[in-house]
Amino acid sequence: MVPEKLTFSPLARRQIEADFSGGHITSDAGLLLLREVDRQHRLTSRLASVLQDPRTPEMVRHKLDTMVRQRVFGVAAGYEDLNDHEALRFDQALQTAVDQDNDLAGKSTLCRMEQRVDRQAMVKAHELLWHHFIEQHDEPPKEIVLDFDGTDIPVHGEQPGKFFNGYYDHHCYFPLYVFCGRHLLVSYLRTSNRSDSRHSWAILALLVRFIRQYWPDTRIVFRGDSGFYRPRILSWCDHNDVDYIVGISKNSRLLKEVDVPMMLVRTTQWQVKEKVAETFRFQYQAKSWKYPRWVVARLEEGELGSNPRFIISSRYDDGFKLYYEQYCARGDMENRIKDQQLSLFADRTSSTHWWTNQWRLILSGFAYTLFERLRSHLRKTPFERMSASTLRLKLIKVGAVIIRNTRRVRVLMSDTYPYKDELSDLVRRLVPG
């Protein structure tokens, strides 16, 4: 059959013609990079091992590890929905990346896999992230900081656990994220009818217990904004030798404590006509506390007036260092959350099954972790600090012609691909020999 010919407006005297006879062409040749990263760390195969497979082995066409790898790689390549896999299952770049040479699972098969996920599988999936975190260190660090933060995922349908949240002004879920630096440790789906600190105490206790099995002498720091201020959490940290740097909402007693230093900051601002900020450290004991704790006030005065902020710390240290260098560093965590929410579709919680939505959150987390492991091979290059979406655009979304036969798979990329030198160097790092 002669392929249909498409004719476009001419370029000068030359006719522009197109047809569909180019063979198999992919836009995701860079998935082969993630394949090599995944082979090193076995992330997707380990994730698949947490799932139960009730299918009759003789009747299985698509194995669990292949389907999990297909979903994680699909998310990494920018395909958020199960429907995308109706076409993606025929993409030879994705097939090669998941170690298959025939058609992959369709949306119905993938959907059935996701609907079999349960609570036990999610617990084991998080433990995998924790084990992987430990494995990335050659020796125990002297100190680690566990950053806790929550965010919203809008809910538009009839998903279970749907509640209206007044702060975000819409119906949403309220997942909890925990990071240590750039390492994702927890992405835990919650309903939005509770506070930021919901379940954070239990998760912190589990994390501390797990980490100390491997690193008994490592200093652990719990860090969070004022949503995670709870006296019982701070008391638990004190009794379990865990440091903390946590925000606390302003109140009349705290504001009274900083009346005099705030007046000095205000006077300085009037004199210099620019924004002025200072820190003031003092001991403070709320009525619910059994003993006083150190509080650091960030006192800021500008054109819009006073803007004091307060944090509680178990550490006696310089106020400027505690607030600006240690507490404010938690802001980088928000970029890690954006990577997952905006680039890796952690907000795709449209299922009517609760644990399926939690599974999709985990898939996003494992795609993020794959990118982080890829980034570890990009140190001292321009790609080292790029976001997941930028790495995808420059290294994953690579057009190529794929030719397969019984002896080899040839992936033919453009000779004008702008990052071919960097990609070649990366392949040499990933593939030994």
What is the reported pLDDT for 32?
96
Dihedral angle of Cα 111, 116, 120, 125, to the nearest 10 degrees? -30
The answer to whether the beta carbons of residues 177 and 369 sit under 8 Å apart is no
pLDDT tens by residue, 184-228: 999 999 999 888 888 999 999 999 999 999 999 999 999 999 999
Split at pLDDT 50, 70, 90, the class of 1 is low
Least confidently predicted of 2-16, 325-339, 417-431: 2-16
What is the reported pLDDT for 19?
86
The token pair at 121 is 């599988």
Mean pLDDT of the chain: 92
Q: Please say if the pLDDT value at position 20 is more than 90.
A: no
pLDDT tens by residue, 25-71: 999 999 999 999 999 999 999 999 999 988 888 888 999 999 999 99
What is the reported pLDDT for 119?
95
Residue 427: phi and psi, rounded to 5, are -65, -40
Mean pLDDT value of segment 118-125: 95
Q: Which whole-number Å values give the CA distances from 362 to 49, 66, 82, 129, 429, in the listed order?
A: 14, 17, 15, 10, 28
pLDDT tens by residue, 342-362: 999 999 999 999 999 999 999
Kindly state the percentage of the chain with pLDDT values over 90: 77
What is the reported pLDDT for 58?
86
CA 135 to chain centre: 18
Q: Residue 104: CB partners within 8 Å, gap ≥ 6?
A: 62, 66, 67, 70, 85, 88, 89, 90, 94, 95, 98
Q: Residue 416: CB partners within 8 Å, gap ≥ 6?
A: none
Mean pLDDT value of segment 106-128: 95
Mean pLDDT value of segment 72-76: 96
Q: CB count, 10 Å around CB of 307?
A: 13
The answer to whether the beta carbons of residues 94 and 28 sit under 8 Å apart is yes
The token pair at 429 is 């790092």
Tokens 């902020």 belong to: 309
CA 268 to chain centre: 42
pLDDT tens by residue, 217-270: 999 999 999 999 999 999 999 999 999 999 999 999 999 999 999 999 899 988
What is the reported pLDDT for 317?
83
Split at pLDDT 50, 70, 90, the class of 287 is confident
Tokens 């009818």 belong to: 193
3-state secondary structure the chain: CCCCEEEEEEECCEEEEEECCCCEEECCCCHHHHHHHHHHHCHHHHHHCCCCCCCCHHHCCCCHHHHHHHHHHHHHCCCCCHHHHHHHCCCHHHHHHCCCCCCCCCHHHHHHHHHCCCHHHHHHHHHHHHHHHHHCCCCCCCEEEEEEEECCEECCCCCCCCEEECCCCEEEECCEEEEECCEEEEEECCECCCCCCCCHHHHHHHHHHHHHHHCCCCEEEEEECHHHCCHHHHHHHHHCCCEEEEEECCCHHHHHHCHHHHHHHHHHHHHHCCCEEEEEEEEECCCCCCCCEEEEEEEEEECCEECCEEEEECCCCCHHHHHHHHHHHHHHHHHHHHHHHHHCCCCCCCCCCHHHHHHHHHHHHHHHHHHHHHHHCCCCCCCCCCCHHHHHHHHHCCCEEEEECCCCEEEEECCCCCCHHHHHHHHHHHCCC
The token pair at 89 is 């299952």
The answer to whether the beta carbons of residues 190 and 152 sit under 8 Å apart is no
Kindly state the percentage of the chain with pLDDT values over 70: 99
The answer to whether the beta carbons of residues 282 and 295 sit under 8 Å apart is yes
Q: Which of 156, 33, 71, 38 minimizes the C-alpha distance to 344?
A: 71
Tokens 């040749």 belong to: 29
Q: Please say if the pLDDT value at position 415 is more than 80.
A: yes
Mean pLDDT value of segment 174-178: 95
Dihedral angle of Cα 132, 136, 142, 144, to the nearest 10 degrees? -50
